Amino acid sequence: MEKKALRHTLKQRLEKISREDRVAQSKQICSLVTGSEIFQSASVVMMFLSLPHEVDTTPLILSAWQQGKTVAVPKVSWQQRHMIPVELSSLETGLKTEQMGLRTPANGVPVPFDDIDLVITPGLGFDKKGNRLGRGGAFYDNFFKHQKITAARWAVAFSPQVCDDIPHDDSDVPVDAVVTENEIIICKKN
Architecture of the domain defined by 2-186? 3-Layer(aba) Sandwich (3.40)
Task: Report the SS3 class of residue 120.
Answer: strand
Segment 82-102 shows an average pLDDT of: 85
Q: Residue 5: which residues within 8 A CB-CB, separation 6 or more?
A: none
- Give the global pTM: 0.93
What is the pLDDT at residue 190? 52
Looking at every residue in the chain, the average pLDDT score rounds to: 91
Q: What pLDDT does residue 189 have?
A: 65
Percent of the chain scoring above 90 in pLDDT: 67
Question: Residue 68: pLDDT band by 50, 70, 90 thresholds?
Answer: very high
Say how far apart CA 4 and CA 13 lie, in whole Å.
14
